[in-house]
A and B are shown apart, each in its own frame.
Chain A
């Protein structure tokens, strides 16, 4: 262990106490001034608050000590020149002498980005809850699994394209602005009921663990690919991961709608 865990925890705890303070003030103020009622089960709520501060402190230390290093580390290994050359010393020499590396060589980075995006989103608890709610509201027209796979594919595709952008160094806003335009066009054709859910799904799916990991991957890639700046090119993966699920969720709703209509034509009741 080459870091002092207690020192880190101590500073993290005092930091999180300050971070949580605004919520306590807001809830306390509105409870006493606007609603003018006492909080029921005050003791249990206070214990809960202590747990929030304690858990958040430990969690942030873990994020900084583990999740962030893993992300940057994977990025460094996957973009390592000797890994790209596949232990071929002649190719390694060519790569070391060239200033520009063909984007196609980073194939494993794209595959990694896809799987990290897909697997973490599929396990996302917030998404599971939203998917069940959507299934109940639409009485099964939107299946929970269908929605989860649609969102997971969206995040996976988004992160992969985002990684490709970092490797090539294209300006981020070209991609995002084009994405917005396509999104508005697709909204025109999508079933009305799905639109708010689709637009929310972009923000909901990127969770507390996934966000630092994907951000670290982007910063790590931008630090290691020749010619990229971590500040300018390293960010942007989260933006892709929030944009793409909107496409796939609307596409999923359009496909189910079409299928239900065809069924109705095939089997007139």
Chain B
């Protein structure tokens, strides 16, 4: 499997580390315990396109948000994760 890093170009899988599901969003402060439990522990077991966080630690050290098909490993989109690149934050 190869991943096309938006900063470095196409690189081998060994340069990347998998974090996991990119869907869960931190609930607002004061939200219910069930929502927090869901955010911390519960994950969908997706068979198909899944949004994931990957880390290009063996390269530019940027966090990436990748859409990968868990059945075929086909990667349909790669973009910088929120906060990557000071210039992007400024936009």
Co-assembled chains A and B: no
